[in-house]
Structure 1
């Protein structure tokens, strides 16, 4: 009996998602709202309309750029979290080691590497339609990095 109700529940969820998607695509004001949007993403879209948030792009050559919304009070850590969320939604077949990515890469804005995760977006000079670049961290001469701990 529980498998029958599970099938009807999944069918009902699919129908509801399809209906939400068609409603969002028909309305010109809601066309840019993703059908699987989180509450945080909906609040960010409202903040853009109120002028409290920015649309920014993350260039990651040779891959396509990522467009995200950040609040003026967001930090570099928040931007990294949004990038992770966006990429994980797109690529479901590959597991990405974000720990490795952020140890070997960083974000760059106007030639400055954003190395401090607690730096606030508005204090860095990031504005509406700013472009951040996904850049590789250079090895500094004479600096030795700690060895990574490998788990057996």
Structure 2
């Protein structure tokens, strides 16, 4: 019986010696690793709080597997937003990438106001070269959109 107590006591000591790292410490290690990664010339345009998704997109851009589509707001008051999508992306994939871009930008600015994307897509559509991108399943390439082209929001007309 004394041997069992020793074994149990030994297990407790081992657990105390190597506690799992707290979430904050792991997050700090992760962020510092990403910060080092972002210093690479290929990834230097990315923000300090970069996401793995943004790193993958930047690498895909470098290898020609993705393209940047610049999206201008309807009032054209600010610079176009550089949204990265795969080369054979559809209009729907561009919309989702744009939503993610805006969400990340808002989180980094310190606030997370709610945007009703349902309202936005009901009220506006994207346009390229005077043509509205109304078919979500159609590929951007079919509309003639290439790397670094600019699309803009235009008001939908009621039927």
User: TM-score of the superposition, structure 2-length normalised?
Assistant: 0.73
Which ranges in structure 2 are unaligned for 5 or more consecutive residues?
A: 1-18
Would the aligned equivalents of 2:70 and 2:151 in 1 still touch at CA under 8 Å?
yes
Alignment size in residue pairs: 134
Structure number with larger C-alpha Rg: 2
Q: Does 1:86 align with 2:101?
A: yes
Q: In structure 1, how many angstroms separate the alpha carbons of the residues matched to 2:94 and 2:140?
A: 9
Tell me the equivalent position of 1:17: 31
Change (3 A) 1:104 1:10: same
Change (3 A) 1:112 1:6: farther
Change (3 A) 1:95 1:128: same
Aligned-partner SS, 1:14: helix
Q: In structure 1, how many angstroms separate the alpha carbons of the residues matched to 2:86 and 2:71?
A: 15
Would the aligned equivalents of 2:88 and 2:139 in 1 still touch at CA under 8 Å?
yes
Q: Deviations over 1:7-47 (max 9, x none)?
A: 932133124313421x13422122134543234x4443333
Q: In structure 1, how many angstroms separate the alpha carbons of the residues matched to 2:40 and 2:127?
A: 36
Change (3 A) 1:50 1:27: closer
Tell me the equivalent position of 2:52: 38
Higher strand share: 1
Q: Does 1:111 align with 2:149?
A: no
Which ranges in structure 1 are unaligned for 5 or more consecutive residues?
A: 144-152
Q: Deviations over 1:117-146 (max 9, x none)?
A: 01101111111110001111122xxx3xxx
